[in-house]
Structure 1
Amino acid sequence: MSVDGAAQRDFEVALGPDNVISDPPRLRSYECDGLTGYRVVPALVLLPRTAEEVAAAVRVCAAHDVPFVARGAGTGLSGGALPVADGVVISLQRLRRVLEVDPVDQRAVLEPGVTNLDITKAAAPHGLYYAPDPSSQQVCTIGGNVAENSGGAHCLKYGFTTNHVLALEVVLASGEVVTLGGDSAEQLGPDLRGVFLGSEGTVGIATKITVRLLRTPETVRTLLADFPSVAAAGEVVSDVIAAGIVPAAVEMMDTLAIEAAEEAVHAGYTRGVPAALVVELDGPVEECAAQFDRVREICERHGCTRLHIAGDAEERAAIWRGRKSAFAAVGRISPDYFVQDGVVPRTRLAEVLGRIADMGADEGLRVANVFHAGDGNLHPLVLYDAAAGETERAEALSGRIAELCVELGGSLSGEHGIGTDKACSMPKMFGEVDLAVMARVRSAFDPAGLCNPGKLLPTPRLCGERPGPYRPHPLEQAGVIERL
């Protein structure tokens, strides 16, 4: 399983020599995704321009037994687009056309390289928008959103990518092109669209994506509230949901995250406060106004020390600029960091944040927190200095935080995926039989294991884990018999 001279020539014939990168300095541009702690230089990078060229590249991989990793903008935070040293990266950045916007049926058809924000820009003239909005929405692509089942700040009310994708044109590991899903969310037969969404590039490459669009809300109301403690902010979140109010978004940031964001974009957050909440409501004017008053009352009851209500679109944009800049802004207060992505029940937010702080103190490392509080999706950022030899401690702490979320009744990931980062922790959440079933589903799409190998599921190479209970017979491995 490697790229030899014959394979490289076939890639150059399929795509053109100028669309095959083999120059070592250029290859290093693709050595990692947003999780920069893991780096692997691929043997080649392929730059297809069309879906047909993607399929042609995958067929060459299948013919030469070459592993491949699909890559969008490289903004993933779990090592999901980490290359394979003896394989190729198939970049989808050139497939960036909006193929159709249908305002009647409220849907859009896109190539995988279209950025998340550009979907809404294309839909806006029709009074429509695309709801999932990851923090990196200006640069992250819909193909990567599909692979990771991304969410974003507004997933509390509107759901994740899987709730907004109707159909997918997919290139399988054999090079065959198939369509999963259809014109509506409900289809007869097995939900293969659902299998593909969130599979982290391990069962194929999406080359055309049909998404549903929503009507732009009649009104939007946004507030920024400071609190004397993380516990007080967490109680507000629980009380808002208990009151029957489902905000479009509820985001929380702690002192370190606020410090970093203010240093970067000067959004008007209060430096030094223990916690801040961003709460946004949208919908009909009268309903939104009534619910907004109720949210404000809940904030004040829990000791809110400052409450700023966005007076216009510019102020609302500033509030969101502070929140959405936080991940990148942390680079201003730490040379290196790991971003974690666990989920806990909302009622345990204060508990888990307290334990994370204690764990960080034990390791002598700082942890910044910025996350989707409304659905308990945490994003702890473990800050460290690789030059000071702190990498191993930071990586271990990041893994323990993910597993702590499972211990408290949550999950390893809400939207960033498992990737390389958390594959070894999967047995903490799933049993041996569960993992074996997942592996067999994956192998049904990709029997040779060429499609983004080493991601998502624990393997002996990665973790020293024993495979699941299914053991293929030697005759089956030799192709003499077939398992039914």
Structure 2
Amino acid sequence: MPATVPDASPDIEAAAAAFAATFRRDQLITDPAGLRTYECDGLSAFRVRPALVLLADSTEDVVAAVRICTTYGVCFVPRGAGTGLSGGALPQANGVVISTARMRKVLSIDPDNRRMTVQPGMANSAVSAAAESHGLYFAPDPSSQIVCSVGGNVAENSGGAHCLKYGFTTNHIHAITVVTPTGEVVRLGGSSADPVGPDLLGVFIGSEGTLGIVTEITVRLLVRPIAVRTLVADFATAEQAADAVSGLVSHGVIPAAVEMLDQLAISAVETATRAGYNRDAGAALVIELDGFDAAVGEEFTITERLCRDNHASNIRIAQSPAERDLIWKGRKSAFAAMGRISPAYLVQDGVIPRTKLAEVLTRIAELATAAGLRVANVFHAGDGNLHPLVLFDSDDAEETERAEQLSTAIAELCVTFGGSLSGEHGIGADKACSMPTMFSGDDLETMQRVRAAFDPAGLANPDKIFPTPRLCGERSGKYRPHPLELTGRIGRG
């Protein structure tokens, strides 16, 4: 099944001429300086300059672009805001980037049925802003929500801080309009929550641009909760904070969000935002409950008690919406704040069982010590979605190599503990070579068959998700152990 660019040589020059004849000049980027803007996404360690970028305005533009690529055998990479963190929008040198960033209109809103149809370039937070006058909002809330696009949320199945209670993007999409890799326009999903037939909508969400390009999205809106209460609990160690999370959920309390920051992350956040986190704490939990007044009040009392029972040294309760916003500003600024304590970082995105949080955090610390590097942890503790940030100096080639190896080791460690390689950032180019640690050859072959059913020519976002010889050291064959596995520092599940 095709996973990379087809063997037939693409005719990029003919394709470029066809693009020039089809689209306005202001829609095309071909100059080297302009193309550099699109050579990577948020994972800047991987960079490839594309041959051409199209700034699409409509579904019709995307159809025309895909058909040109199909005609001339040229691969294409969909791109939204470019905030992805797994290299999912990494271009091909002889390929085209099809950007939907200009497509950011609200196409319709149906407040009675709590639905809105938007174009894929609309920012995540802009959806909630457009629904605010109706008392509604869009629940998925990635930390980059003021800039990341809804189309990117669909591609990666993004979650955010409140996914513990409200789920991921897939739980909030009714239907999408897709341009397939063969240039057809199809509608997946429908007006009902569970339409008849195969769940092709579920197949597409999280497919990272490998099955087509989404051009319209009908999102599910929720009614804003009546009561919201937020606290920050300080702990001496990250392990104690992790135990508090397990205790909370085991008692049947499901907060809207449970986030954790370790001491390194707190230091960066406080330096950048002055959000009021305690720099002396070994770790902090941000816990938010929402719903009806009576239920929130009762659960908040239980939450406070459980935090104290698990050795919380201090509990700060937000006394106003402004204070709550400041707490969340600190948490959601964490990635950007790392620049205050390190020249560069790599962010990982693995998932583990909640009950393994304390143990895995200890193992991550051991791996970091062995690699001679620092790791800051800030993540969605409630659902075990880790976001370890490996800090390093990108000007030091040897240190950069160690950072990349450590980042990979942490992702694969999550699999060893019964978790997965990604919760919401996707596999992209970053973790494609780790897929055999989680999936068998038969699993990967089945996934490739699904991909080939949508994209028989292998032109849609090639070299993503699946391991290939070109990506994985130009070598094919059986699983190769990671260098840290050979030393006995990590195991393989």
Compute the TM-score of the two structures, normalised by the length of structure 2: 0.94
> What is the distance in 1 between the residues matched to 2:280 and 2:76?
46
Deviation at 1:3, TM superposition (A): 5.1
The letter for the 2-side match of 1:437 is: T
1:55 corresponds in structure 2 to 63
Which digits, 9 at most, give the CA deviation of each residue in 1:48-101, with x for residues without a partner? 111110111111000111101011111101000111111011111110001111
Tell me if 1:70 matches 2:55: no
Aligned length: 468
2:278 corresponds in structure 1 to 270
Q: How does 1:113-124 map to 2 (within 5 A)?
A: 113-124=121-132
Deviation at 1:460, TM superposition (A): 2.1
Q: Which residue of 227, 234, 252 corresponds with 2:260? A: 252
Tell me if 1:451 matches 2:484: no
The letter for the 2-side match of 1:215 is: V
Deviation at 1:149, TM superposition (A): 0.2
1:409 partner SS: coil
Q: How does 1:125-274 map to 2 (within 5 A)?
A: 125-274=133-282
Which digits, 9 at most, give the CA deviation of each residue in 1:197-230, with x for residues without a partner? 0000000000000010001001100001100111
Which structure would you say has the larger RCO, counting Cα contacts within 8 Å and 6 or more residues apart? 2
Runs of 4+ aligned residues of structure 1 deviating over 6 Å after TM superposition are none
1:427 corresponds in structure 2 to 436
- For structure 1, the residue ranges without an aligned partner over 5 or more in a row are 469-484
Deviation at 1:263, TM superposition (A): 1.0
Tell me if 1:19 matches 2:58: no
The letter for the 2-side match of 1:164 is: H
> What is the distance in 1 between the residues matched to 2:335 and 2:11?
36
> What is the distance in 2 between the residues matched to 1:294 and 1:4?
62
Q: How does 1:331-350 map to 2 (within 5 A)?
A: 331-350=339-358
1:442 corresponds in structure 2 to 451
2:403 corresponds in structure 1 to 394
Is the Cα contact below 8 Å between 1:172 and 1:445 reproduced in 2? Answer: yes
Tell me if 1:36 matches 2:44: yes
Is the Cα contact below 8 Å between 1:282 and 1:288 reproduced in 2? Answer: yes
> What is the distance in 2 between the residues matched to 1:467 and 1:137?
39
Q: How does 1:365-404 map to 2 (within 5 A)?
A: 365-389=373-397, 390-404=399-413
Q: Which residue of 419, 427, 441 corresponds with 1:418? A: 427
Deviation at 1:15, TM superposition (A): 1.6
1:474 corresponds in structure 2 to none
The letter for the 1-side match of 2:55 is: L
Q: 1:43 to 1:3 in 2, by over 3 A?
A: farther
2:352 partner SS: coil
1:113 partner SS: coil
Tell me if 1:461 matches 2:470: yes
1:109 partner SS: strand
Which digits, 9 at most, give the CA deviation of each residue in 1:30-51, with x for residues without a partner? 1111111111111111111111
Deviation at 1:467, TM superposition (A): 9.4
The letter for the 2-side match of 1:230 is: A
Q: How does 1:85-100 map to 2 (within 5 A)?
A: 85-100=93-108
> What is the distance in 2 between the residues matched to 1:429 and 1:111?
34
> What is the distance in 1 between the residues matched to 2:388 and 2:140?
21
> What is the distance in 2 between the residues matched to 1:161 and 1:5?
38
Is the Cα contact below 8 Å between 1:228 and 1:274 reproduced in 2? Answer: yes
Compute the TM-score of the two structures, normalised by the length of structure 1: 0.95
The letter for the 1-side match of 2:81 is: A
Which digits, 9 at most, give the CA deviation of each residue in 1:286-345, with x for residues without a partner? 100000001001111111111110011000000000000001111221111110000111
Which digits, 9 at most, give the CA deviation of each residue in 1:406-447, with x for residues without a partner? 000100000000000000000000000000000010011001
> What is the distance in 2 between the residues matched to 1:139 and 1:205?
19
RMSD (CA atoms): 1.1
Is the Cα contact below 8 Å between 1:14 and 1:53 reproduced in 2? Answer: no
Which digits, 9 at most, give the CA deviation of each residue in 1:382-424, with x for residues without a partner? 0111112211111111001000000001000000000000000
1:477 corresponds in structure 2 to none
Is the Cα contact below 8 Å between 1:155 and 1:249 reproduced in 2? Answer: yes
Is the Cα contact below 8 Å between 1:69 and 1:452 reproduced in 2? Answer: yes
The letter for the 2-side match of 1:246 is: I
Is the Cα contact below 8 Å between 1:12 and 1:19 reproduced in 2? Answer: no
Is the Cα contact below 8 Å between 2:12 and 2:95 reproduced in 1? Answer: no
Deviation at 1:184, TM superposition (A): 1.5
> What is the distance in 2 between the residues matched to 1:184 and 1:238?
35
1:411 partner SS: coil
